[in-house]
Amino acid sequence: MSERSVSKRKQEKRWYTVMAPEMFDRAELGETPADEPEMVYDRTIQTTLGELKNDPSENNTKLTFQITDVGSDAAYTDFVQHELTRDYLRSLTRRGTSKVDAFVTVLTTDDYRVQVQPVAYTTKSADHSQERAIRKTMVDLVEEAAAERTFEGLVESIVEGRLSSAMYSQAKTIYPLRRVEIQKTRVEAQPEEVAAEEEASVDIDEDEE
């Protein structure tokens, strides 16, 4: 291929402005190049909440989006994951204290399956029964939040810190806490995937009968 042909191919690349979902006010996430629109699908874009809100204090929250739709000059995304940076989580760890992790998978009112990972940091070392009680409180509150909210509402309550604040308020009555955070949130299945799994499960049950 001649240099002229290579240069022409580069010039033919189109740049697409990547947009955040509506829950993040369709903020611009950056640009991505592609020869064909089809090549843009499924690309992931990572940014921080601080960059979206123009607030450096929020840079410890990472957000991941995946391109699911492409227009003439814009690419539109869905939310995939929220995660706190390792440096920030490490800064919360202290000697002589307890770190209580939990992992819970929930279904929102509009049938998104989401894994949520809350974590609590105590002021001193808690015993096993206290850790279990704190963990149960966090799991119960995540399940309640999902049962009452759409996917968008659940993600907003997590990213804005309302859910972790509710956990802190309840769990601190069990044992003194220094901090409660949701360290990670990840979409496990979209509504259509959940529906397909349920349909397959029903088919298996009917076959067994």
Sequence-distant (≥ 6) Cβ neighbours of residue 111 within 8 angstroms: 191, 194, 195
What is the C-alpha to C-alpha distance for residues 73 and 67, in angstroms, rounded to an integer?
A: 13
Identify the pLDDT of residue 1: 47
Percentage of the chain modeled with pLDDT above 70: 91
The answer on pLDDT for 40 being more than 90 is: yes
User: CA distances (Å), 52 to each of 70, 76, 179, 193, in order?
Assistant: 21, 15, 24, 29
DSSP SS3 for 93: coil
Q: Which of 116, 135, 117 is nearest to 174 (CA)?
A: 135
Question: 72: pLDDT confidence band, cut at 50, 70 and 90?
Answer: confident
What is the C-alpha to C-alpha distance for residues 155 and 79, in angstroms, rounded to an integer?
A: 9
What is the C-alpha to C-alpha distance for residues 25 and 180, in angstroms, rounded to an integer?
A: 27
Percentage of the chain modeled with pLDDT above 90: 85
- What stretch of H or E contains 152? helix 151-159
**Can you read off the two tokens belonging to residue 39?**
């090549």
pTM of the model: 0.85
Q: What is the mean pLDDT of residues 101-113?
A: 97
More confident residue, 28 or 209: 28
Q: What is the mean pLDDT of residues 24-48?
A: 94
What angle do helix axes 151-159 and 162-171 make, rounded to 10 degrees?
70
Contact predicate 133/174, CB 8 Å: yes
**Can you read off the two tokens belonging to residue 143?**
């399940």
